[in-house]
């Protein structure tokens, strides 16, 4: 009887297991949800199927903006130091999942091992860098202004509000983080649209955000088609600013024309080759300044 049991166990172990493909969802309001349309995209690495990924619709974008607006007061109301701590926590959690991202970048995005390690290192370092600036850019870029009267004159930043980010299509992780970290450091909330051949990588980053102390709705990640959603991003009346990375001349003209309807701030950035995102040219406190409003307050000098 013992011999029969052993043979039966060995036979079952020799059978090939079926592949369990992951279905990636949108990250909205701190939760992972399906697209309201039910649409998915098949993600392939070469000719090999690797996963299904939700394809966001116009309604998904509207819903995400509503959630981001609801989270704005909570996030902007935190101290700059607290926002710094949370960004640093995100860097910690990404570093903790390094092996997962290195594997995903190789198996889903076609990176070699060295390039995948570099992409993750740049991403962790960039989060850490902006975490350090979150409570310092005010002192560097703002300040007390001299006036020829018995007043103090202070220039202080306020968040712009809800920022729509059309993220890099060349760098699935470092480019994504370089786009959203300065927005968050300035106290804004964001809705991020990623249109990349490996949309699973930004979705995996959503799992980092979900364990990084960010209040739900501060960062909302949508995967889908930029060409489909760009007109709705540009014309949405409750979006205060748009950050566009790359894009054709026609896309930039459309964005700036539609954004003029509600005086929406538009910032257009280059989308360099993936290896170039490691350059310090793609991190600056002035990227934070792009998404804050500077307010001046007067106060009489005490006697």
Q: Consecutive sets of 10 residues in the chain, 303 residues long: mean pLDDT of each?
A: 51 68 93 94 86 95 98 96 97 97 94 96 97 91 73 84 96 96 97 93 96 96 94 95 94 93 92 94 94 83 64
DSSP for 73-121 reads HHHHTS-HHHHHHHHHHHHHHHHHTHHHHHHHHHHTT---HHHHHHHHH
| DSSP state at residue 70 | H
Return the pLDDT at 269: 94
CATH fold label, 23-34+56-295:
Aldehyde Dehydrogenase; Chain A, domain 1 (3.40.605)
CB 155 within 8 A of CB 143: yes
CB 174 within 8 A of CB 119: yes
Q: Which of 230, 143, 147, 134 is nearest to 191 (CA)?
A: 230
**0.75 exceeded by pTM:** yes
Return the pLDDT at 116: 97
CB 242 within 8 A of CB 263: no
Q: Which of 56, 279, 275, 243 is nearest to 171 (CA)?
A: 275
Cα angle, residue 187 at apex, residues 186 and 189 outer, rounded to 5°: 115
Element of type H or E holding 5: helix 2-14
Whether the CA torsion 7, 10, 14, 17 is positive or negative: it is: positive
Return the pLDDT at 292: 94
């Amino acid at each position: 009887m013992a011999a029969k049991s052993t043979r039966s166990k060995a036979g079952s172990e020799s059978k090939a297991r079926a592949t369990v493909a992951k279905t990636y969802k949108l990250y909205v309001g701190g939760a992972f949800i399906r697209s309201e349309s039910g649409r998915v995209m098949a993600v392939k690495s070469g000719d090999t199927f690797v996963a299904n990924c939700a394809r966001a619709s116009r309604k998904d974008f509207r819903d995400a903006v509503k959630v981001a607006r609801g989270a704005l007061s909570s996030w902007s109301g935190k101290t700059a130091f607290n926002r710094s701590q949370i960004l640093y926590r995100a860097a910690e959690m990404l570093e903790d999942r390094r092996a997962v991202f290195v594997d995903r970048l190789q198996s889903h995005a076609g990176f070699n091992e060295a390039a995948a390690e570099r992409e993750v290192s740049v991403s962790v370092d960039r989060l850490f860098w902006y975490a350090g600036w979150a409570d310092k850019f005010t002192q560097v870029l703002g300040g007390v202004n001299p006036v020829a009267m018995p007043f103090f004159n202070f220039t202080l930043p306020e968040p712009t509000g809800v920022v729509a980010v059309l993220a890099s299509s060349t760098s699935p992780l470092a480019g994504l983080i370089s786009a959203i970290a300065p927005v968050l450091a300035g106290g804004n909330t964001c809705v991020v649209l990623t249109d990349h051949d490996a949309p699973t990588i930004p979705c995996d980053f959503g799992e980092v955000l979900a364990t990084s102390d960010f209040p739900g709705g501060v960062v909302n990640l949508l995967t889908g088609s930029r060409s489909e959603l760009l007109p709705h991003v540009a014309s949405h009346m409750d979006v205060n600013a748009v950050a566009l990375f790359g894009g054709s001349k026609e896309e930039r003209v459309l964005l700036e024309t539609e954004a003029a309807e509600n005086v929406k701030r538009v910032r257009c950035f280059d989308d360099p080759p993936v290896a170039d995102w490691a350059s310090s040219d793609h991190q600056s406190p002035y990227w934070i300044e792009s998404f804050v409003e500077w307010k001046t307050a007067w106060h009489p000098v005490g006697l």
